[in-house]
Amino acid sequence: METLQAIPLNHYILLSAALFSIGVMGVLLRRNAIIIFMCIELMLNAVNLLMVAFSAHHGDGKGQVFVFFIMAVAAAEVAVGLSILIMIHRNTNTTDIGFLNKLKF
């Protein structure tokens, strides 16, 4: 498509990197487990975007098919992760990861 020629590939890379870094920052800054979860989704989407961009660049549909699988995995992850969160909330009455500090020696 003629119209796309104007946008360099590395702009997509920069966009993805920015979105990914925002996700990471969110994970670091927030203590609410649900927000952290959303930030993870954001990171996954940054990767997806890059995948599609490269797929278009190389003219290969496999990249887009791969995105489908990532979506499937993300859906599964969200389902299980949220149910774990519900369990945690039910037991501790909070979703603050600061309280979940039993993961140590």
Q: What is the DSSP letter of 61?
A: T
Q: Does 87 bind other proteins (CB under 8 A)?
A: yes
Q: Does 102 bind other proteins (CB under 8 A)?
A: yes
User: x/- binding map, residues 1-30, to other proteins, per CB under 8 A?
Assistant: x-xxxxxxxxxxxxx-xxxxxxxxxxxxxx
Q: Does 32 bind other proteins (CB under 8 A)?
A: yes
CB-based contacts of 4: which residues, under 8 Å, 6+ apart?
56
The count of chain residues that interact with other proteins, using the rule CB under 8 A, is 83
- In angstroms, give the least distance from the CB of 2 to other proteins: 9
Q: Does 92 bind other proteins (CB under 8 A)?
A: no
- In angstroms, give the least distance from the CB of 81 to other proteins: 9
How crowded is residue 37: how many other Cβ atoms within 10 Å of its Cβ? 19
Query: Do residues 39 and 26 touch, judged by C-beta distance below 8 A?
Result: yes
Phi, psi values for residue 32, rounded to 5°: -75, 120
Enumerate residues 45-64 that contact other proteins by CB under 8 A.
45, 48-49, 52-53, 55-62, 64
Is 23 exposed, middle or buried (CB count within 10 Å of its CB: 0-12, 13-18, 19+)? buried
